[in-house]
Structures are given as C-alpha cells and as structure tokens.
Structure 1
Amino acid sequence: MSYASSSRGLSSHRTSTQIAAIVFGVIFLAIGVLGFIPGITTNYGALYFAGYTSEAALLGLFQVSVLHNVVHMLLGFIGLWMARTHSSARTYLIGAGVLYLLLFIYGLIVPLNGAGNFVPFNWADNWLHLGLAVVMIILGFVLGPERARGSSGSRGSPGEGSIPN
C-alpha cells in the first residue's frame, strides 16, 4: 500500500499551511451560511442584498447583507479549493489576509452610513477584519511546508518527502 499523496487533491498528508487554509475555509463558509439563518442573524427581516441600510446583524454584532454572506461563502470555497497544495494554501492565507487588511482600511475611510459602505460593515466588522488580516498573514508566512504532526504515514528520515514551496 502506498502512502504517496497527489498534489492535485486533498490527502491525509497535509501541511500545517493546508490545514490552516481548510480551517479558515470552513469558518468563512459557516459564517456565510449563518448569516442567512434567522435567530443567529438578528433583524433578519431587514437583510438586504447590499448597502449600509441592511440592519441584519450576525450574532447581533456584525452587520451583514446578502452580498456580505455570499462573499464569506465564496472566500470559504476558495480556501477549501486552494488548500489542495501547500503553495496555494499559503497564497490563500496571505492573499485573503491582505484583502482583509484592505477592507479594514476601507472601513476606516468610508462613512459607515454612506453609499460607499456597500458590503456593508460596521465597527465590529472593521476590528474583526484587522484581526483576521494579522492572523492570516502571519500564518501564511510562519507555517512552513512541513507535514502537520500525526498526518504523515511515512517512517522515513525527517528530511524525506518534504514539500517544496
């Protein structure tokens, strides 16, 4: 029986970078879905497609809209898809982190009750975007190509089977 993994799909031999991309992908996917569930999303009746006029709030804290929820789900699917290889997972973590950093800056510049706030987001979203940016960018640079603990079936030497960047 061979324990070799294919670089074309997910395998049981994932790097910690791939696992991080999967975790963020699942979280973003779940957040997007939860944004459509009344009760978890307060003021659900005021959930609009886009714009600052949407009064819906995920967990009563984070302002959401249909567009906001769809963006989270797309980011989740992209994370799961890019988790197939170490290098694409790393690109996802850093790229999505930069995207969230730009959203944080955008949230500081654009009036929250103005037409420019089309996604929409509020101050809780802005601070969450900053936190996500910092964590994702750091993980993208810190996590290496080594296999995650316990995920490798190989009994070779520590240098065997390493994945290049």
Structure 2
Amino acid sequence: MKYVTVQSFIDDYRNEAIGTQKLLDALTDESLGREIAPGYRTLGFLAWHLVTSSALLLATGLKFDVESEENQPTSAAAIAQKYRGMVETVLDAVRTQLTDEKLHDEIDIFGDKWTIGYTLGALIGHEIHHRGQMTVLMRQAGLPVAGVYGPSKEEWAAMGAPAPK
C-alpha cells in the first residue's frame, strides 16, 4: 500500500496498532520463549521485533527514538508497554514531520527506490505479517487469541455463537 495522505496513514496505523496491542497484552512471560520449531524465532522475539521495526522509518528522514533489538525485555508486560509507547512516538513523528507532498519523495531502502508513502505502507504490512506469525505461536502456547479483523474462536464463544468453520 502506498499512502498519499498523512492522515490516512495515521488512521490505518492507529487501527492496526489496536489489533497488535490486543495480541501483545495477551502474552505471558512464559510464552515468550515459544518457537514453532527449534532454532526459529520465538514469540518474544517477534513481539519485540514489532517494537523495534519502526526503525525502518528513520530512512524517511523522520527523527524519533527507537528501541534496540538487543534491549529486549524479559517481561511480556514490558514489551506490550514499549509497543504502546512506540506507536505514539511514530504517530507523533509522522503527524509533525511529514506532509502529504513529502509522501511522494523517493528514498533508498534495501537497494531500491521507495516513496515515503510506500515505506509507511510497508511498515504496516510488515507488522501484519509478524502479527500472523504470533497468532500461530500463541495458539501453540495455549494463549487466547484476540480477533483483529473479526472475532476469534474464543470471542465467538463469549458471544454464545459457534465459530464459523
């Protein structure tokens, strides 16, 4: 997705962040070490990666503080809180440092030319991708999974309805 207005990114990112925050808030300290198979990324790594991946936006010229991959907390609650703060930091930086016109500017990322508007969309797509990975690991860890684009199995049950098959 390529954004052409700052406000459309802000609206989408705020909505996507709500879904991500629900998942992060459901993590437990014990679940952070869960991996799909030995040697693969853990649930804790993926959760922290969502906090630190906002660093991608530094290539756009935005100025804000980012967390280091190396400073991953051992507490699920701390990761969830850091994500909450990072979202507000990104939204503030975008709101105050970008204009609709600037979203068309090209920058170099990964050896390619991307517009800033495309880069904003890539951040959201990246988050959605890892959020999906997290839900699989959360199920394997026995954690409840919050619905993001509709009710989860647990949420259907709470409404007294069977989950669609």
Say whether the fold is shared (TM-score over 0.5).
Answer: no
Instruction: Give TM-score scaled by structure 2 length.
Output: 0.34
Structure with the bigger percentage of helix:
2
